Amino acid sequence: MADPSHTRAAGTEAWLVRPGDEAELAACRAAFETHLPATVLAFPEPACQRWAAAFAGGGACGRLQPGPAGDVAAALVDALTRAEGRLFAFLPGPALCATVAGLLGLAPPGARALRVDPGRAFLLRDERVGLVLRHANVLGPEHDPGTRLPLWRGAP
């Protein structure tokens, strides 16, 4: 399992995306129009590579080689330490869930509890406490900050 404590706490975003069909690609690409990646990585599978090429916009895509457990956690941690901006990784569903579980320190059965639909993503952020799950099974970045908790004491 990868050791996520080796990240830089630089606030780097890692979007882990499960490819889907062409309509889902268009919707996902549109959702990320203002959040383009600096680094694009793809699992060695045609759908993942096709989606990565669409997001890279003609730029280079790195390749994610799965480890013995079928995840790419070690490769993602390594990429995060070198990333200069937003990182996108395209993985098939089972590999994506195994990777997220590994990065969050969940036991392998924990991966079965995670769900990601085709064309949806997980957002992990490199923070002081390590990698933090910010969004799960979302189409793209959310622009709505949400509703404040009732006991929130910040400025309005």
Q: What is the CATH number of the domain that holds 43?
A: 3.40.50.1240
* Total domains present in the chain: 1
How far is 89 from 92, CA to CA, in rounded Å? 10
The domain in which residue 124 lies consists of: 4-138
How far is 103 from 149, CA to CA, in rounded Å? 28
pLDDT digits (tens, 9 = 90+) for 61-98: 888 888 776 668 888 888 888 888 889 999 999 889 98
Residue 29, domain member (yes or no): yes
Taking each continuous run of H as one helix and of E as one strand, the counts in the chain are 4, 6
pLDDT for the residue 50? 94
